[in-house]
Amino acid sequence: PRGSRVLFQQPLLRLGRPGLGRVRAKGKLADLPGNATAARSAPETRPRPSARAFETVRFLCTFRRVQTTRGAWFFCTKPAAPGAAGTPPRPRPAMRRTREEVDATLQIAKLNAAELLPTVHCLGFGPGASAAAGDFCLLELEPALCEQLEAGHSLVIRGDKDEQAVLCSRDKTYDLKIADTSNMLLFIPGCKTPDQLQMEETHCNIIHTEIFGFSNNYWEVRRCRPKLKKLKKLLMENTYEGPDSQKEKDSSHPKYTTEDLLDRIQASEEEIMAQLQVLNACEIRGYWRILEFDYEMKLLNHVTQLVDSESWPFSKVPLSICLQELGPLEPEEMIEHCLKCYGKKYIEDGEVYFELSADKICRATAQMLLQNAVKFNLTEFQEVWQQSVPEGMVTRLDQLKGLALVDRHSRPEIIFLLKVDDLPEDNQERFNSLFSLREKWTEGDIAPYIQDLCGEKQTIGALLTKYSRSSVQNGVKVYNSRRPIS
């Protein structure tokens, strides 16, 4: 089996957490009996649904897990009203098959009754089966996601109206696609699997069962990269320039809490929090902010000057003295945040210290030099760069991977700012952007700009094979676009 499934009323927006878990959906939820099974066949995948189907959380319903011959499924049901019996609808009177009729059918089908279980399910459509055909859909889940649901954790479908919907667990993001089946999937209350029938004695070997509903497709999930480009875009709308900035006095600028970001970003909570650290974002009065680069460099300059004046080694910068000396100049939380961004915290003899990273400081200094220049003579840049970093630190070009690009073919050689964060998030668009900038790339030059596109068990070589064409130029293997770039 491909995994497990969740059955819910369409459209669905959020899975929350009651006893086992919850499903939040928009629209009226039809009652579903306390047990259900379904059959499946080979899927034919079609394009995933637009996120326009997922708008507002309104209703809450619980789900139960049921066993089938094909694996585990989940379906959701509307909570019973106070005092409601919560029992499945009674089947309407229907023509009942006899054992003789069943045996005759097996004989016509040329099936050996001795090879089958003695219990027979006689199926019939209930009165509301056709009306409920479009009210439910199935969501197939991998075992790890099923375990999270059973443990009471949440699955969330995220996406704005102009985005493709994704499903997020605590730490992973999945694409949602609809798969069609050539056979009808039936929802059958009280249907027992062969394993269940073998474990219990059945007084009557003919069971008349009512079909509650049916479906011809289901949703399947596939692991994908989190869509985090939007996170930086939102936070850059209102960067933090210091406590005395005029922007801090103006409440009209947008600010985002953790809950705001979870509602807007198509990624799991763990992936979002990890990316906030990569962006050097900090939480100020409950809102996530990115420091304006000039203000961040101002803080870093205060720290490095203090280290130089006190003759501290960069591997042992005491937090308490930094806060004491620099506190009158900048907020203490900003000083500590700067140390966290450019160093590693550790404790020795009860005292908190930071080991400053030479690579991070050199990289930030290079960005400061390059951001105001379109192109920089490489030789001159290396001289100015080395003079600009604190004494004792050594600059190297490999510190600038994913930040700046060197053009070895120009005369003189030049370097210019090219940040991987500014490139498109989509694979094809990323390669189009890179090949429009430079016709041919070596693997060493292009690797820093496509490394983040690699999925699970995917290599840079596999990406280059898919999106580029290789050739040898002057004994060096280079890559160019597979399609014309306008």
Specify the pLDDT at position 167: 93
Per-residue pLDDT of 318-374, as tens digits, reads 999 999 999 999 999 999 999 999 999 999 999 999 999 999 999 999 999 999 888
Tell me the torsion sign for CA atoms 477, 482, 483, 486. negative
pLDDT at 35 over 60: no
Q: Rounded distance, CA 257 to CA 485, Å?
A: 40
Specify the pLDDT at position 203: 60
CA nearest neighbour of 218 among 461, 1, 420: 1
Residues in the chain: 486
Q: Rounded distance, CA 42 to CA 44, Å?
A: 7
Name the pTM for this structure.
0.74
pLDDT at 28 over 70: no
Least confident range of 79-88, 314-323, 405-414: 79-88
Specify the pLDDT at position 113: 81
Segments of 69-172 assigned E as strands: 71-77, 120-125, 136-141, 155-158, 166-168
Query: What are the phi and psi torsion angles at 263 (to 5°)?
Result: -75, -25
Specify the pLDDT at position 192: 78
Tell me the torsion sign for CA atoms 148, 152, 153, 154. positive
Per-residue pLDDT of 163-206, as tens digits, reads 888 999 999 999 998 888 888 888 887 777 788 877 776 666 78
CA angle 321, 300, 399 (to 5 degrees): 125
Q: Rounded distance, CA 273 to CA 196, Å?
A: 44
pLDDT at 302 over 80: yes
The pLDDT-based confidence of 38 (bands split at 50, 70, 90) is very low
Specify the pLDDT at position 202: 60
Q: Rounded distance, CA 17 to CA 5, Å?
A: 17
Q: Classify burial at 11, counting beta carbons within 10 Å of its beta carbon; exposed 0-12, middle 13-18, buried 19 or more.
A: middle
Highest mean pLDDT among 1-15, 138-152, 167-181, 356-370: 356-370
Per-residue pLDDT of 92-111, as tens digits, reads 445 678 888 888 888 898 98
Q: Rounded distance, CA 400 to CA 445, Å?
A: 11
Q: Rounded distance, CA 38 to CA 5, Å?
A: 10
Those residues whose C-beta lies under 8 Å from the C-beta of residue 222, and which sit 6 or more positions away, are 174, 175, 177
Specify the pLDDT at position 204: 64
377: left (phi over 0), alpha (psi -120 to 50) or beta: beta
Bridge pairing between strands 22-25 and 476-481: unpaired
Average pLDDT, rounded, for the chain: 79
Cβ atoms within 10 A of the Cβ of 79, count? 15
Are 440 and 479 a contacting pair, CB within 8 Å? yes
Query: What are the phi and psi torsion angles at 126 (to 5°)?
Result: -75, 170
- The one-letter amino acid at 57: V
Are 219 and 176 a contacting pair, CB within 8 Å? yes
How remote is the C-alpha of 484 from its chain's centroid? 32
Average pLDDT for 424-447: 94
Least confident range of 135-149, 216-230, 250-264: 135-149
